[in-house]
Amino acid sequence: LVSDASLQYQLKHTSRAMSLYYGRGYSRVKLNDVAYATYVKAMYEVLGKEISRLLTPRFVSPYGEDRKAQILNIVSP
């Protein structure tokens, strides 16, 4: 009844995978340390790539380039 994107937004999850992870009950599954570390590393790698795309000219701030630069000054490609 609720789209994945809507669920992700409402739960403030950083990615669709995070919503699906919890929604399918995987948080109750006990992974070994290597599998868990691989999952977390991949999740942050994807998040980093998505954030770095914000630096491209495709994304604009309604408050101007200076404000965009101010917001994204903690991010580097």
pTM over 0.75: no
d(CA 51, CA 34): 26
Residue among 55, 56, 26, 64 nearest 43 (CA): 26
- Segment 57-71, tens digit of pLDDT: 998 889 999 998 888
According to the model, what pLDDT value does residue 41 have? 92
pLDDT band at residue 27 using 50, 70 and 90 as cut-offs: low
